[in-house]
Each structure stands twice: as structure tokens, then as C-alpha cells.
Structure 1
Amino acid sequence: MTQTEKRERTAEPEHRWPAVIATLIALAAYAFLPSVVPAIERYAVVGICLLMVIALVIYNPHHLTRESAWSRRAEIALAIFILVANQIALGETIVRLLNKHGNGYELLLASLQVWLTNVIAFALMYWVLDRGGPVARAMVPRPKLELADFRFPQDEDHDAVDEVARGSSKKADWVPNYIDYFYFSLSNSMAFSPTDTMPLTHRAKLLMALESFAGFVLLALVIARAVSLIG
């Protein structure tokens, strides 16, 4: 990206730390909350993810202003790695519940860990994929951005009342950051459907479907079964 291209945008580059803090919370929950996954496997996943986080923070310590082929791949790989590891934990938790194995309190905490990590991990996936990722969203001229995976309210607020329109994508060069994707992921996991943000691509719809299904299973089967085991 050239300096000329950068000056075409007025959007502020996104800060690195909201995504980092969320990732660390997910890794801490994965490592320390009760889980059906053996400890050595959990710690190995956490160790690999921490190495990737450290490398990405060193490359972009504060604001996300630069990107290379390796950093882009590392961002995507980190999100996929956490997501896949957590889906394995989800599957093993369901198997244990169906086989009536485990303490009810521990299964409740394990369910909480899987659900919380899912919300954060899916938010990371949405964040790294949409419109080419966090660096591209703020730095690349809009006509050159990749196709949007999601449509946010701000993307269509330019013809609303003045105090709303001023913050729209068209008038203020607004772009979503990790907090927007986290809220979207949280609401999708609880409502099992889109709320204020709509999926536009097949990959976005498939990811949302997987997250909704996982949330439904946890609330309708895993948590309900764990509560029945208490006492």
C-alpha cells in the first residue's frame, strides 16, 4: 500500500489490543477452566497460540497500520487454530454428556469455557476475514477493498437523520473493529440468528450457522444435562 493510497482514507487504523485481550481471555479460559480436553493438549494449543500472538504484537504493537503476507496468514491461522481446538472440546463435551460421564458442576464450567471461547474465536474469524482484514479495512481505498462479508448498520445509515448519518461508513469513513465483531458474535451465539449485522457471503453464512448451532447445542443439551446431574 502506497502513501497515496493511505491518504485517500480518513478512517483511523484499528488498535491492536482489544483483539489481543479477547484472545488472551479465550486462551486463559481454555487453559484453566475445567475441560474434557487433556491438560497437555490444552497447554500445547495455548503455547502455540501465544507464540503467534507475541509475533503479531511485535509486528504491529499498537495500531494496525502495516501488513505482510506472513502476518496476514498468521492472523487467519490463529483464529482458525483457536476455533478448531474449541470445536473439538465442544464435541468431546457432548460425547461425555451423552455417556453420562463427569461431574455436573465441572460440566457446567466446561460448557461455559466452550461457549465463551466460541464467541471470541468466531469474532476473530469474522474480524480477520471481512473486507480483507483489519489493516485493509482502514488503509485500502474502498473501491479496492475485498467484497464485504457483513453489512453493518453504519453501512446504510448515510441517509438517516444528521446525528446518525454523520457516523456512517459513507460520510465518516466508518469501519468495523474487533468490538463490533465481538458484539455481533455474542448476539449471534445467544439469538441463534443475525441481529443488526447481516451476512453477505457464503463463508459468512456458514460460519454464523456453525456458531449458532454450537450455541444451541450448549444451551439446549450440554448445559441442561449438566444441571440435571447436579446433586
Structure 2
Amino acid sequence: CIDCMACVNVCPMGIDIRDGQQLACITCGLCIDACNDVMDRIGRPRDLIGYLALTDEVRERAGEPAKSVWAHVFRLRTVLYTMLWAGVGIGLVVALFLRSPIDVSVTPVRNPTYVTLSDGGIRNAYDLRLRNMHGEDARFSLSVTSDALVGMSLEGVEGLTVTVPANETMQQRIYLTAAPGSAAAGNDRSPVRLWVEELGTTNRIHHDTVFNGKDDGDG
């Protein structure tokens, strides 16, 4: 160093890089260029100022050559981080391709919990949300399974088949009805399973809920 102060004069932060690494340094490199220009003009070696890994500082002070770029890249920690993030990325891609193209949720209507029909049967209402994640319209068939015999009907729909537009979610009110004197009609809560099957494919999904009947304590 010839104390020309070129590095200090060009520094936008006003620091003297010759004092070593400093928090205010923004690593813009202007001091490096200014120093090299001066060294070129007077015919002295360049790179008095340069970028250096902190791990190489001790080696440089001892007169040893700095580690190669590859030696810095291929360290145990960087390899482990790379493997970790690669595993996360692969897991996300696999989950994306293995996800079900349909999604269903069923929410019981609580007001009222059940309705007693004129023939003595018990009916529960549910709000079904069916999401079609295909890029085209799809038709779905709905069904119910239960240890107690329970029938199903859809509000405003003939039969048990619905069509959901591509990449949209359909909300449908459904009704489950238990016949008079059946186990479901007489029990407070009976487990039921609602099935949604995409027609023409093997895609099938279910949602578990309960059927609320009229137990002896309801009067």
C-alpha cells in the first residue's frame, strides 16, 4: 500500500477498507477497482484489496494460498443443506403428483339438528363442498354407507350425480333420511360415511360424519 487514499476517496460509505472487514461495508467493489488502477499506473502488483472468505484470512496471513472455489462449495454443511432442500423439493413434487384431484368436505346443518318427517322418519341436512381440481368439467356420483340404513337425496338435483366445472368448488345441500323405527332414527348419533366417486375414473374419496337421530330423551 502506498497510502494514496484512492480506496477511501471512492468509498460511498466513507470507511477505510485497509482497517479490515467492517459492518458498514456494502461490498460494492469500488475500492478494489480504484486500488488496481493506481497499481497498474505505477507498475506494482494488483489485488491489494479483494474479496476473501473469513476462513481464508488465517491462511493468507500465513502466506498460504487461499482455498479454491470448489473447496468452499463442497463442504459438509453445504452438501447436507443441498441434500435437505433437494429432499424437500422432491417431496413437494411427489405430493403434487400424488394428490387426489378431488376434495370434499361435509358440514352438518345444526339449526335444526334433525327434522321429523310426516311418516315418522328422521332427516338430517348437510352442506357438501366438492372441489374439482381437474382442468376440465367432471361428473361425480354420491353415495352413503352406514351400519344403520340411511337414504340420501340432493336438493334441486335428480338422482345422486352432480357436475362440477373445471377448477371450481361446488356447494350442494344434501339430505340423509332414516326410516321410522330404524336404528339411525332412534339413536342420538350414528356414524355415516359419504362417498364421492368421479365417473369414468378410479378416483374415490370419502368423508366421515354423524347422523343425528331422535333418542328417548328428546320427548
- Could you say which TM-score interval applies, normalised by the shorter chain? under 0.3
Larger radius of gyration: 2
Q: Which protein has greater RCO, CA pairs closer than 8 Å, 6+ apart?
A: 1
TM-score with structure 2 length normalisation?
Answer: 0.19
TM-score with structure 1 length normalisation?
Answer: 0.18
Higher percent of residues as helix: 1
Higher percent of residues as strand: 2
